[in-house]
Structure formats: structure tokens, C-alpha cells
Amino acid sequence: MKIISLVKFAAKAVALVGLIATGSAHAQLRVEVSGVGSSQLPIAIAAFADEAIAPQQISAIIKDDLMRSGYFKIIEVGSAISETSQVNFGDWKSRGAEALVVGSVQKLSDGRFDVRYKLLDTMKSSTLSGFSLATLPSNARLTAHKIADDIYEKLLGVRGAFSTRIAYVTKAGPEYRLEVADADGDGIQVALRSKEPIISPAWSPDGTKVAYVSFEAKKPVVYVQNLITRERTVVANYKGSNSAPAWSADGSKLAVSLSRDGLTQIYMVNANGTGLQRLTTTSGIDTEPQFSADGQFIYFLSDRSGGPQIYRMSAVGGEAKRITFGGSYNITPRISPDGSTLAYISRRDGKFQLYSLDLASGQEQRLSDTVKDESPSFSPNGRYIMYATESGRRGSLAVVSVDGKVKQKLTVQAGDIREPTWGPFMK
């Protein structure tokens, strides 16, 4: 094959289960963090008053989120502090804390919990932020993630992504599963089960649907599945290979790669499977389309120059411009939410590694030190890239900050984990 990434296809039957069905399904992802940001902000996070009545410890989840980000140094507190407590700012300043998080949890008469939080600037002796959220017991973790998001944004100036979700494919024994989880790997739920591979999951821009390729028709077929209603739609089931779905910015269409007319080319199709239009017409292979966040362009993989490289064209097709020139083998383009950075997998010296390209300066950076990387996906705030790699002969997921300084590894106790895609911000 001209492009190795095309050899992701197999064929046989699939057994569906209800999407986001009952309960979480399997062992939580284990997260290991190494490296820190260019600077760490010292922050104290107190236990929330009366948080033991909640199903999960709110302050511990917030602390884990901020520690995992790599940009905060956690200062231990040792006691609970309510958002209404008097705070001695000088004492916290002397302990090295530039910010302090306090709060409380109260049970409401309708069974919900009122989670109250306050973020204090110890250097200026002032309140930076604070709010209260009434939450169902089942949403306690989500509430904690939202507080961590607010802290991240107020202190770093970038929207936090702790309350977002990820999707990925696991393989344990003979079974493949498409799973959805919180960004920290908790709350795993099964979307799809199969005895054969599932590939190329992709979130819709509003986070309510996932497109993917399954093989129940004994060939690769593109589906869209609604995470709320569990309804699924066949989007592309043409002769040959149907692969690599990517959502348009408004969620109304998908770009797909089809070999219906011979060599694999890029097409556009409505999200309900109607209105197929061909976008590329070349004598080579064009695949792995990816829309820019503003919807104006499609980045894609092509071997039209003699080897696999990444190109960009208008979202309606037309002339394409080559984007990657470093190395002779660059695949799987992913564009950052702000459109400034391209992430991709490059093969050099026999290693498949994650690279980024600053599109304005043309500066390239290698972000991984593993050797079998694939499937990069930006966090919705553009601060991190998740990708699949191999650890101890098993597939695992990794996360790296866009500057390469913060690294995380996500593994499961048994089986492989691959094909990650990071979901959007939820409204």
C-alpha cells in the first residue's frame, strides 16, 4: 500500500449495544503524569466543608484535575475551609500559595447537592471567582470538573477542558469496544461492542454524536450515532472502502474517504447520508480529511507528491497546497482549534512519532519520545494533544502539552487502547 494508515481495514460482524447504556462498563483508565509546565502556579485547595455527604469528594477531584494539567503546584491544606470562612491572606501568602480554593457542600430537600466554591487571590487579598451549582448525585464529578475548569481559566487565561469527554477503542480478548469517558478517564461507558476492529471515531461539534467506521456489513462502513437517542445512521456504505469521517464545523456534513470510483478520494456528505459530493480527483490516494475549526479548509493526506504528505484545500474542493515538507512520510493531520498549529504523525528513522507544525513560522517540533504513535487529537482548548501509542507491547493513550513539557499516559489493566478522539466543549 502507498499509505500505511489505510491498512486499518478489516471485515466481519459487529454486535451493537445501546449507546451510553446503563452504568459504567470497565476498569477506569490509569493516568500517570510526568513533566511540568514552563512555570507552575502554587495553589492551595482546601477540603470543602461537609463534602463527605456527597458521593465523591469534590476537592479531591479538583486537586487531581489541576495536578494532571502540569501547570499547578498543589500546597497541602489539611483542613476544611468553607467559602464563608474568614481567611488570613498573609498566612497563605507566607506558605507560598498564590491562590486558595475553598467551598462547601449542602444537601437540598429534593436530593440534589448545592456545591459552593470560591477562588481567592492571596497576593491581592481578593476574590477572583466563585459560584454555586445545584447538582444531582450522579453529576458530582462533573460539577468538580467545572470548578477546576473555572480555576484553570481564571489563573491561566485559557478555558479549562476537565469537564469534556474523550472517546477511544479498547480491545480485550476477542472484543473491541468503543468507549466514552470523562477527560480524566473516569466514568467509562460503552458505546459499541464488536468482535472485529472499530476505527476512526470522531465527535460532532456539539458533542451529541460520534461518527465511526464499523464492519458489520463485512466491509468498512461509516456510521453516525446519537449519544442521547442511541439512534444511528449509515452515512457512507458504497462499493469498496468507506472510511475516515470528519465533521464540518457546523456539524451538518462529514468529509469521508471513499474508494467507490477506484483509488481512495475525499467526498462530502450530509450527516444523514444524503447529498454525496466528490472533492478531490487525483491519480493518487487522498484520505484522512480534517476540517479547520472555522470550516473554511480541509487538511488531508495525499501521496500525489510521491509519498504521503499533508495538504490543505478549500472546504468545497479545488486546488490543494502542500503543508508538510519535513520528512518523507507525514500522515493523520489534525488542526488546532485556533488554526495555528498542525499535529500529525511522521515516520523518521523507522519511528512513528507525534509532531507539530506552527503554520505561521513553519517551525516543526517533535512532541513524543515513543516510536509507534498514531491518531492525534487536540483538546478543545488547544492546550494538549492526545494520541495513541504502544507501551509494553500494548496500546495505550498519551497526552502531551503543545509545548511538549507536560506528558500523561493512560492505560487499562488488560487489553489495548487506541483511536482516541477528544470531545468538544459542551454548552
Same domain? 9 vs 44: no
Query: Residue 177 phi/psi, 5° resolution?
Result: -135, 135
Per the CB < 8 A criterion, the answer to whether 241 and 226 are in contact is no
Same domain? 133 vs 195: no
Whether 34 is covered by a domain: the verdict is: no
How many CB atoms neighbour CB 80 within 10 A?
17
What is the number of structural domains in the chain? 2
Quote the strand ranges of 46-112, DSSP E. Answer: 72-75, 99-107
Domain boundary among 124, 156, 188: 156
Same domain? 74 vs 21: no
Same domain? 199 vs 227: yes
CATH number, domain with residue 219? 2.120.10.30
Whether 32 is covered by a domain: the verdict is: no
Whether 33 is covered by a domain: the verdict is: no
Domain boundary among 156, 188, 206: 156
Say how far apart CA 58 and CA 51 lie, in whole Å: 7
Whether 92 is covered by a domain: the verdict is: yes
Whether 141 is covered by a domain: the verdict is: yes
Same domain? 136 vs 170: no
Whether 410 is covered by a domain: the verdict is: yes
Structural domain that includes position 70: 39-156
Same domain? 123 vs 171: no
pLDDT of residue 297: 97
Per the CB < 8 A criterion, the answer to whether 221 and 11 are in contact is no
Same domain? 183 vs 316: yes
Quote the strand ranges of 286-423, DSSP E. Answer: 286-291, 297-302, 309-314, 321-322, 330-335, 341-348, 351-358, 364-366, 374-378, 384-391, 394-401, 407-411, 416-422
Say how far apart CA 328 and CA 96 lie, in whole Å: 49
- Count of helix runs (H) and strand runs (E) in the chain: 3, 31
pLDDT of residue 38: 67
pLDDT of residue 18: 33
Same domain? 232 vs 124: no
Whether 161 is covered by a domain: the verdict is: no
Domain boundary among 87, 121, 156: 156
Contacts of 227 (CB under 8 A, 6+ apart): 19, 20, 180, 191, 207, 208, 209, 210
Same domain? 152 vs 183: no
pLDDT of residue 410: 83
Concatenated DSSP letters for 303-318?
A: -TTSS-EEEEEETT--
Model-wide pTM > 0.85? yes
Say how far apart CA 313 and CA 323 lie, in whole Å: 10
Whole-number CA gyration radius for the chain: 23
CA dihedral of 383, 386, 391, 394, whole degrees rounded to 10: 170
Same domain? 22 vs 103: no
Same domain? 192 vs 324: yes
Q: What is the mean pLDDT of each run of 10 residues along the chain (427 residues)?
A: 37 31 49 73 98 96 95 93 96 96 98 98 97 96 98 97 96 90 91 90 97 92 92 95 97 97 96 97 96 96 96 96 96 97 97 97 96 97 96 87 91 82 93
Say how far apart CA 178 and CA 199 lie, in whole Å: 9
Whether 427 is covered by a domain: the verdict is: no
pLDDT of residue 216: 86
Same domain? 213 vs 69: no
CATH number, domain with residue 122? 3.40.50.10070
